[in-house]
Amino acid sequence: MKLLIVDDSNVIRQRIARIASDARLPPMHIVGQARNGVEAVQMVRQHDPDLVTLDLTMPELGGEECTEQMIALKPALTILVVSALSDKATALRALKKGAQGFLYKPFTDDQLVAALQEVMLP
Amino acid sequence: MNQQNRGFLHKYRSIVVAIVLFVSLDIALIAYNLAASYTIDRYTASRDLSGSMRSSTQIVLRSLLEMQADVAAGGTIGEEARTTLRDRAALIQNGLSALREGGSLPGDAEATVYAAATQPAQRAEADKFASLWQPYQQLLQPLLAADVIDAASVGAAASHGRRINSELFGAINRFVNATQDLVTRETRVLRIVQIVGILFALLNFLYTALLASRRLLEGDRAVARSQKQTGDILATVKEGLFLVTPEQQIGEQMSASLKDVLRQEVKPGQKLFDLLTPMVSAPIMEAARDYVGLLFGKRVKENLVYSLNPLSEVEIGGDTAQKRYLSFQFNRVLDEGEVSGLLVTVQDATERVNLQAEVASAKSRAREQMEVLLRVLNNDPAEVQDFLRRTESSLEQVNATLRQAARRSGENYLGLVNSVFRHVHGIKSEAAAMNLEMFESVAHAFELDLVALRDRGDVEGADMVKLALHLDDLFECLNSVRGLFERLGTASPAPASAPAGGESSPAQQLLASLRGLAKRIAADLGKEVRVTGDMPAFDTLPQGMADDLRSISLQLLRNAVVHGIEEPQERRQHGKAAGGIVHFSCRRSDTDGIDFSVRDDGRGISPRRVREALVRSQRYTADEVAAMPDRDVVMKIFEPGISTASESNRDAGHGAGMDVVLSRVNAMGARIALGSQGHSHTEFRIRIALPSAAAAA
């Protein structure tokens, strides 16, 4: 499973990367860590990930447009939105563009593992 | 084979078995019928053939006797007799072969098939007949072949024929009878089989019909039972339950509670969002459409979007008394992996929301009590007691004012509002000085309502009643802190006006409060402020006067820090130290009175800004303001509702502070003077004429 982590916070990216190696999850190969939407779209083009964890509030290209562009590049891409957003409407719009799930920040390790397991279900 | 078909076969297995049995029985019966009919046909043919052979033996003998008579009479033998003899002899000869071996007669156009004689009785008679016929037939041969027939040949044949006739006839006759018996027996067997078969088929049919009707009945009962159970559930369940179709219409079935929870009728087929429109705002409606749309799609994972449900807590009804909360939960209904609908669960969440609010409020109260505790532990309990006493006194006065307003209806209450404002503002200032956020925030909320009333101008009796709610809140705060205080066991009597030895003096206490307040406000505003004091006369003042000066001090300090002291950068630009100083002085005057002053080294009062504030207040026209001398303009800061702050917050902006100061000064019968210079200082001087008794105390 090729994973791309998209978040403007270095701390959150490192944390997701660490949790992604949890034994309860299938083996993850982290193909990239993007700091903003523009980098994320580039990395989808270069590395063809299967799964993306995506923050919504990022500089340069926001989560909603980023989702749209990533899905345009790879319609079968699985996207889990991980965001601290209190505005449900924005998250719903990102899901409308093609993301499959949503997880509130802050999250515990177990919550992220459960969300990744759930989002990878066929 | 999919699951549905398997289920169908399992359910109707007995009926299927019965039908298969029925069809198999029919086929077997038909096959047997065909076979038996064929056998009977062949036996019948054999019976008829042997019958013909039986009559032919008599015709052959009669023809021989006729031929013998013809020869004896010397006449010629007729061709007809000869042909008859030939045909009948051939029939017997060929018939015998067909009867014994089976098959057809040579030259038979219809190719009738005869049954071979298999029964012992038949075979015995056929053999007997053959043994009699062969010599007879040899005697007949010359008669059939020769053109001229001699009397001896005819005579020999005729006399042989006469001799064996009875035996020959008997043999073939018994053969006929034996064959007839076979036909009869086979026909009887066929009939019995047919009757039994039809009976079986009939029984089978009845069984199948019974089984089918029983299954139907069972099915109907099961449907009725499950319908009743569904009905019972829907009638009993407390939640509002209904299904939404992919067309977003409400389904036929819904729980009885639905209309109670929603407090309106719901019709099957009604559009979900038509139902929701009167309940929720447009943005929530938009989000709800997105959410429902996502659940009907296949892409999102249901468990990972619950938290985004915009209808998980919908506020219904604007009035406080009728305000309630509804919770709409949506769950996918799957049919062979496809979303065929959404199950909607509606609950009245009012209790839950209120409980959450209560828990939050309890937490906040606990935090506030902790504040008071810390305050008491960190400071002098007497100081807190003193604050509680002053606050109680202020609240009693506010209470009296509000009662007064209730009695005297019809007058303009603006004056009363200003009076209440001064008290509430005083409480807020003191609470802020003591860092008692609970009091400060309740007083602040009270103050905001008072500001709104004052700005509106035409205050009515009903408005005053609403203020009583805030008053109750403040009393509750007071009681809560007092209760806590008593539980701590620090409920010492209110301190006397003179300090007990060893404890901090009232002046020291006041300065400590002032330093605390200055520190907090300065931190909020990014300023640096130091409070200094020289107040030997303060400790000798009577209680009431000390309270008034304390209140004035807090207000003037607040003004000095908010308005007077500049930010560090601005101070440096004017060549001052980054931190400002507010100095309090309270000394006995030459004339046996008290001189109290508050001086800050800030930017001074700007007549220009006061002019702007006056115009902004709409109490004076721009022309009136322009005509005033600077001195008069500056003195206008003591009018209620005049504030130079550009925006209001808890520390400034309501234009109440100087009004509080002035009313206290007036209450003490004192005089206030104001001196200010731009970028240098502002100083308030209050001269209090001390009654001689008080001064001596």
CATH code: domain of residue A85: 3.40.50.2300
Asked if B235 is an interface residue toward chain A (Cβ–Cβ < 8 A), one would say no
User: Would you give the distance in Å from CA A15 to the centre of its chain?
Assistant: 13
Asked if A107 is an interface residue toward chain B (Cβ–Cβ < 8 A), one would say no
3-state secondary structure of B629: coil
Compute the nearest-CA separation of A106 from chain B (Å).
Answer: 13
3-state secondary structure of B107: coil
Residue at token pair 């001229």: B148
Specify the higher pLDDT residue, A19 or B380. A19
3-state secondary structure of B117: coil
| Sheet (strand A78-83) strand order | A29-34, A2-6, A51-54, A78-83, A101-104
Which of B286, B290, B307 lies nearest to residue A102, judging by beta carbons? Answer: B307
Token pair for B90: 């051939």
Which of B287, B291, B301 lies nearest to residue A100, judging by beta carbons? Answer: B301
In a domain, residue A72? The reply is yes
Domains and CATH numbers, chain B: 3-210 (1.20.120.1730), 240-348 (3.30.450.20), 366-496 (1.20.120.160), 504-697 (3.30.565.10)
Which of A88, A104, A119 lies nearest to residue B301, judging by beta carbons? Answer: A119
> In whole angstroms, what is the distance from residue B519 CA to residue B255 CA?
61
| Sheet (strand B580-588) strand order | B529-534, B580-588, B594-600, B681-688, B671-677
In a domain, residue A122? The reply is no
Q: Which of A88, A90, A102, A112 is best to mutate for the B interface (most B CBs within 10 A)?
A: A88
In a domain, residue A121? The reply is no
Whether residues A89 and B293 touch (CB distance < 8 A) is answered with no
Whether residues A101 and B291 touch (CB distance < 8 A) is answered with no
Residues 6+ apart with CB under 8 A from B157: B64, B136, B139, B140, B143
Whether residues B290 and A118 touch (CB distance < 8 A) is answered with no
User: Would you give the distance in Å from CA B156 to the centre of its chain?
Assistant: 118
Which of A88, A100, A115 lies nearest to residue B310, judging by beta carbons? Answer: A88
Report which of B258, B293, B294, B288 is spatially closest to residue B274, judged by C-alpha positions. Answer: B288
Report which of B330, B323, B332, B357 is spatially closest to residue B346, judged by C-alpha positions. Answer: B330
Compute the nearest-CA separation of B347 from chain A (Å).
Answer: 21
Asked if B485 is an interface residue toward chain A (Cβ–Cβ < 8 A), one would say no
Q: How far apart are the first and last CA of chain A?
A: 14
In a domain, residue A120? The reply is no
* Strand ranges (E), B463-604: 529-534, 580-588, 594-600
| Sheet (strand B338-348) strand order | B250-254, B240-244, B338-348, B324-335, B314-316
Residues 6+ apart with CB under 8 A from A45: A73
In a domain, residue A20? The reply is yes
Whether residues A95 and B300 touch (CB distance < 8 A) is answered with yes
* Strand ranges (E), B109-235: none
CA of B387: how far to CAs of B181, B228, B430, B436, B468, in Å? 136, 69, 7, 10, 22
Which of A93, A101, A103 lies nearest to residue B300, judging by beta carbons? Answer: A101
Token pair for A50: 């299967």
Q: How many of the other CB atoms lie within 10 Å of CB of B275? A: 18
* pLDDT given at position A119: 92
Whether residues B308 and A88 touch (CB distance < 8 A) is answered with yes
For chain B, the farthest-separated pair of C-alpha atoms sits apart, in whole angstroms, at 208
Residues 6+ apart with CB under 8 A from B17: none
In a domain, residue A35? The reply is yes
* pLDDT given at position B494: 42
* pLDDT given at position B694: 46
List average pLDDT for each run of 10 residues in chain B, which is 697 residues long: 63 80 88 92 92 93 88 78 88 91 84 87 92 92 78 88 93 94 93 90 86 88 93 92 94 92 91 89 90 91 89 79 87 91 93 88 80 69 80 88 72 77 85 80 87 77 77 86 72 42 74 85 87 90 86 89 89 88 91 90 89 84 88 83 63 66 86 89 90 49
In a domain, residue A88? The reply is yes
Asked if B307 is an interface residue toward chain A (Cβ–Cβ < 8 A), one would say yes
* pLDDT given at position B6: 67
3-state secondary structure of B632: helix
Chain B residues in contact with A95 (beta carbon < 8 A) = 290, 294, 300, 305, 308
In a domain, residue A61? The reply is yes
Average of per-residue pLDDT values in chain A: 90
**What helix, strand, coil percent values describe chain A, rounded to 5?**
45, 20, 35
ipTM of the complex: 0.90
Token pair for B282: 């447009």
* pLDDT given at position B408: 67
> In whole angstroms, what is the distance from residue B479 CA to residue B495 CA?
19
Q: Which domain holds residue A15?
A: 2-115
**Number of structural domains chain A divides into:** 1
